[in-house]
Amino acid sequence: MAQSFKAVDPNFEARVRDSFARQGAMRLIGASMGRLEPGYCEIELPYRDDLTQQHGLFHGGMVSAIADTAGGYATYTLFGAEDSLLTVEYKINLLAPGAGDKLVACGRVKKSGRTLTVCELEVMAVKGEKTTLCACGFATLIRLADRPDRPRGA
């Protein structure tokens, strides 16, 4: 059963997308943010040869990076405008090769608490019309109350 969450911040989407735009790591690998709603986030990563391992498949580090980011931003949709977060831990199971035209990571909040939030993570490999679950896991994130998500010195 899917949980339904309500955003505390009515401007959550603009705030979350602005934060994602400042993610140097996601920019470096060419990831983009897709669907976003309270408690849910998708991150897409198009195939590039420099994101692969020796067999030409997406490297597990890329799979993990977008899964962690999707979980973080799914969580961030539920926070106030003056809060931020950090990942405390995450566990990822690589279930199938990351073979495809792109990867799509989904972060879905399972339980949002006052301090800690737990997210379910899934990464799909998409090749043409075929979609394969290539990774799943969980992440725990901590709310940094009254510590805005802004660049240093801003």
List all residues 6 or more positions away from 152 whose beta carbon is below 8 Å from its beta carbon: none
Q: Are 62 and 34 in contact (CB under 8 A)?
A: no
Nearest to 119 by CA among 82, 153, 78, 147: 78
Nearest to 119 by CA among 131, 130, 129, 109: 109
* The CATH number, out of the four listed (3.40.50.1820, 3.10.129.10, 3.40.50.300, 1.25.40.320), of the domain defined by the range 12-144: 3.10.129.10
Give tens-digit pLDDT for 64-119: 999 999 999 999 999 999 999 999 999 999 999 999 999 999 999 999 999 999 99
SS3 76: helix
pTM score of the predicted model:
0.94
Give tens-digit pLDDT for 33-61: 999 999 999 999 999 999 999 999 999 99
